[in-house]
Amino acid sequence: MDHYFSGYALVGLLIVLGIGFVATSFGANALLRPSRPSPGKQSTYECGVEPTDGGWAQSYIRYYVFAYLYVVFAVDAVFVFPWATILATVGFGTATLLEMFVFLGVLATGICYTWRKGVLSWV
Amino acid sequence: MGRLHLRYDMMAVLTIGIRLAAVLTGFLVLPLLVGQLEHKAMAHMQARLGPMEAGRFHGWAQLVADGVKFVQKEHVLPDRADRAMFSLAPALALLPYLVILVVIPLGPSLLGVDLDAGLLFVLAAMGVSVLGAVMAGWASGNKYAQLGGMRSAAQLMAYELPLVLVAGSVAMAAGTLSLPGIVAAWSLWWLGWQGIGAVVFFTAGLAELHRPPFDMPVADSEIIMGPYTEYTGLRFAFFLLAEYAGIVVLCALTATLFLGGWRGPYEQQLGWLWMLLKTFALSFVVIWMRATYPRLRADQLQQLAWKVLVPLALIQTGRDRRGEGGGVRCGYLGPAWCTGC
C-alpha cells in the first residue's frame, strides 16, 4: 500500500471501529432497556407545561453577521497553514514573510472595519 | 518466501490491532477519569464530599454505576422529533474525539499514527463534533433544544477562528503540521513565545466544548438542557461522554502544541507520564473554571471572541519572524533583555 495513505487507512479503520462501538452499545441498550411509550412521555418537553405550537419555532438569528464574518475569516485562515510550514525552508525569504503580513493586515483591517461599524456589538 | 511475507503481514495486522485497541481503551477510560476528578475536585471546592458510596473507596466506581444505569434506561423518542437524526446525533458528537486521539502522541514512540497534516486534521475533526449538538438541537423538535443548537453553532463560529489562527502560529514555529513533529521541535522558550497562543487556544477550545463559563448552549436555568433536552438513557450518556472526551482531547492538544507533550526529564522512558500529567493538570484547570466563573451572556461571549481572542491571535501570529539561519523565531519587540526566542 502507498505509504502516505496508509496512515489515513488507519484513521479509516478507527472510524469503522468507532461506528462498531456505537452500534454495539445501541444494540445492547435496545436489549436491556424497557419500552413503554405513552403520549405524555413522548410529547415535547417544555418545562413541564403543555407544549405550544410546533416544535421548530421561528427564531431571530441575530448572529448571521458573525456567520458571514466566520466564513470570510475561516477560509482565509486556512491559507496560513501551508505558508506556516514552508516559511522556515531555505529559499523562502523576507518576501514570503512580508506577503503574509499583508495578508494578516487585510484580516486585521477587516476586523477593525466591522468593529467600527458596530457589527460586533450584540444589541 | 511466501510464508515470510505472510508472517510480516500478520505482524502488521497485529500492530495495527494493538494500536486501535489502545486508542479505544484510552478513549473509554480517560474521560471517566476526568469525570471522576470533576466529581471529587468540584465537590471539595464547594465544601462537599462528592460521591462516597459506589465502589466503597471514595466513590471511585460512581461513573461505572452511572453507565450501568444509563444503559438500562428507556429511549424516549419524542413524537415531534426527526427520528433518524435524533437517534444518530449522539454518535456524531462522540466519534470525532475518538478519531482525534489516534493522532495525539503519548510518548516519543507511543502514538497511533503520524499524519503529516495532523494539526489540520485535528482542527477539522473538532469542528465536526459540534455538528452533533446542532443536529440534536434541530432534530429534537423542541424550541429550547433548537435554541441550544443555534447557540452551539454561534459559539463554534466565534471561537473556531482564534483557534485556527494560533494553531497556525504553532505550525509556523515548528515548521510542520505533524503533531509528533511539533512536540520534537518544542523548546522551553515557547512558553513565552507562544504563551498568548496557548491561552487563546485553551479558552477557545473551552468554548467549543460548551464548558463553563461558555456553557450558554446548555444553560440549564434558561433553556433546560439545550440540545440535549429531549435525550434519555444511553444517548444522553453519550453526549456526556463526548463532553469529557472533548476535555481530554482539548487538554491533550494544548499540552502537545504549547507545553511540549511528552517532553521532560527522562523523556525516552517517562514521556507518556509527562504527557498524561500535563493533560490532567489542564483538565483540572477546566474543572476549576467551572467551579469559579459565572456563565457568559450571548453578547459577552461573541465580544470576547471577536474583540479579544481574534486580535490576540492575530498578534500571536504576527509576531513570529524569520530567524537568522533559517527557521522561525519570536519577533517580540519588547524590553532589551528579551532577545527573543
| ipTM for the predicted complex | 0.80
Nearest residue in chain B measured CA to CA from A115: B307
Within 8 A of A55 by CB-CB distance, chain B residues are 78, 80-81, 140-143, 146
Q: How far is B72 from chain A (nearest CA, A)?
A: 4
Quote the CA–CA distance of B232 and B228 in Å, as a whole number. Answer: 9
pLDDT at B296: 86
Within 8 A of A8 by CB-CB distance, chain B residues are 115
Q: Which three cell numbers stand for residue B227?
A: 440540545
Q: At what angle do helices B62-71 and A3-32 cross, to 10 degrees?
A: 70
Within 8 A of B116 by CB-CB distance, chain A residues are 4, 7
pTM for the complete prediction?
A: 0.83
Q: Peptide bond before B108: cis, by omega within 30 degrees of 0?
A: no
Q: CB of B250 within 8 A of CB of B206?
A: yes
Average pLDDT over residues A76-86: 75
* Greater pLDDT, A41 or B341: A41
Strands B328-330 and B320-322: antiparallel
Minimum-distance CB partner of A55 among B87, B141, B303: B141
- Among B34, B94, B141, smallest CA distance to A51 is for B141
Which amino acid, residue B262? Answer: W
| Strand positions, DSSP E, B31-158 | none
Q: Which three cell numbers stand for residue B107?
A: 510518548
Average pLDDT over residues A45-65: 68
**Rounded to 10 degrees, what is the CA torsion of B324, B328, B333, B337?**
-70
Quote the CA–CA distance of A5 and A2 in Å, as a whole number. Answer: 6
Q: CB of B128 within 8 A of CB of B78?
A: no
pLDDT in tens, chain B (341 residues): 456 566 667 777 888 888 888 888 989 899 999 999 999 999 999 999 888 888 888 888 888 899 888 888 888 888 888 888 898 999 999 999 999 988 898 888 778 788 888 888 898 888 888 888 888 888 888 888 888 888 888 788 778 888 888 888 888 778 788 888 888 888 887 787 788 889 999 999 998 888 888 888 887 788 888 888 889 889 999 999 999 999 999 999 999 999 888 888 887 888 888 899 999 999 999 999 988 888 888 778 878 888 888 888 877 776 665 544 445 555 544 444 444 44
Q: Which three cell numbers stand for residue B228?
A: 440535549
Sequence spans of domains, chain B = 77-334
pLDDT at B335: 42
* Owner of C-alpha cell 463526548: B242
Q: Which three cell numbers stand for residue A59?
A: 427564531
| H-helix or E-strand spanning residue A42 | helix A39-42
- Among A2, A84, A1, smallest CA distance to B172 is for A84
